[in-house]
Structure 1
Amino acid sequence: MSIDIASFTPGLSLTGGLVIGAAATVLVLFNGRIAGISGILGGLLGTPQTDAGWRVAFLTGLVGAPALAGLLGSPIAPDIQAGWGEILAAGFLVGIGTRYASGCTSGHGVCGISRGSVRSLVATATFMASGFLTVFVSRHLLGG
């Protein structure tokens, strides 16, 4: 195993994790809401919409922060080696998975585990195992 040292950013990763944790904490303390992205988006798309303001603000920040960083010349730019069809298919499959798992990685992994939820621990372990298996198959069995 080798580490791509140019892409190895433990300091930025730690900082990002701390900011995500702080955002989840602030949301639950001040709004009593869990910072699961699928639930936030689903609540915005469903009816009735009595709490759309904070949902729109949260999702705007989620999309706007990286866009702003890119405009300001952030040295970190994703290198996505997939076409639009693959990206849309992957997004669709993730959406289906979040419905079956009753939440997404952020909701279960960041918020559920910190609350001691066994369901979230199992869901997060399943997400991770699926990711590990996908990488192993695509890199070692399919020759990618």
Structure 2
Amino acid sequence: MTFSLSLFPLGWQHYLLGGLLIGAGTGLLFVLTGRIGGMSTVFSSSWSYVVQRPFFQQARFTDSRGWRLVYASGLILGALVWRLGFTSGAAQATAVPAWQLLVGGFFVGYGARLGNGCTSGHGICGLGSLQLPSLYAVLTFMATAFLTANLAARWLA
């Protein structure tokens, strides 16, 4: 009981509900449209509106950016509904310094590009459709995350 409280001081039920909703949403997207809801492609296709570099102007980004923006808007709207409807309204904060968030964000973005997809694309959609390369990508993501978290805890403590 103490172990569970230390890992999940606010309870675990909302994490389970969130995971079920994410799985249902990406599954529904695939079943109804045949599209895969990975967020790194949503990010790149959104940038294709404003960045004219050849990478962002690939047909795979420009041809799909309409539905991907609607998909991303649904994620933002879902977070807003959660905040307004299911929390006390107090803003969440972190004690992590801004520079660490920026460096971490850079490495996550670089890793998503290097791995040809992000954790949502590989971890939710790829594993859900039993793709072996996605299993390798998720195992790599997780091993890197465990190693990085442990090294950061030792260096920054």
TM-score under structure 1 normalisation?
Answer: 0.83
Q: Does 1:42 align with 2:44?
A: yes
Q: Does 1:57 align with 2:70?
A: yes
Distance of aligned partners of 1:73 and 1:19 in 2 relative to their CA distance in 1, 3 Å threshold: closer
Q: Does 1:116 align with 2:130?
A: yes
Identity of aligned residues (%): 32
Q: Which amino acid aligns with 1:52?
A: R
Q: Does 1:93 align with 2:95?
A: no
Q: Which amino acid aligns with 2:71?
A: F
Q: Tell me the CA shift for residue 128 of structure 1.
A: 0.8
Gaps of 5+ in 2: 49-55
User: In terms of mean alpha carbon deviation, does 88-97 or 100-109 score higher?
Assistant: 88-97
Q: Tell me the CA shift for residue 54 of structure 1.
A: 1.6
Distance of aligned partners of 1:24 and 1:143 in 2 relative to their CA distance in 1, 3 Å threshold: same
Give distance in 2, aligned partners of 1:19 and 1:73.
Answer: 15
Q: Tell me the CA shift for residue 6 of structure 1.
A: 5.6
The one of 26, 29, 40 aligned to 1:27: 29
Deviations 1:90-132 (A, max 9, x none): 2121111111101000111111111111111111011111111
Q: CA RMSD in A?
A: 2.4
Distance of aligned partners of 1:95 and 1:129 in 2 relative to their CA distance in 1, 3 Å threshold: same
Q: Which amino acid aligns with 2:44?
A: G
Gaps of 5+ in 1: none
Give distance in 1, aligned partners of 2:122 and 2:17.
Answer: 20
Distance of aligned partners of 1:126 and 1:93 in 2 relative to their CA distance in 1, 3 Å threshold: same
Q: Tell me the CA shift for residue 18 of structure 1.
A: 0.8
Give distance in 1, aligned partners of 2:7 and 2:117.
Answer: 33
Give distance in 1, aligned partners of 2:151 and 2:107.
Answer: 18
TM-score under structure 2 normalisation?
Answer: 0.77
Distance of aligned partners of 1:109 and 1:73 in 2 relative to their CA distance in 1, 3 Å threshold: closer
- Contact in 1 for aligned 2:122/2:138 (Cα 8 Å): yes
Q: Tell me the CA shift for residue 5 of structure 1.
A: 6.1
Distance of aligned partners of 1:6 and 1:105 in 2 relative to their CA distance in 1, 3 Å threshold: closer
User: In terms of mean alpha carbon deviation, does 11-20 or 78-87 score higher?
Assistant: 78-87
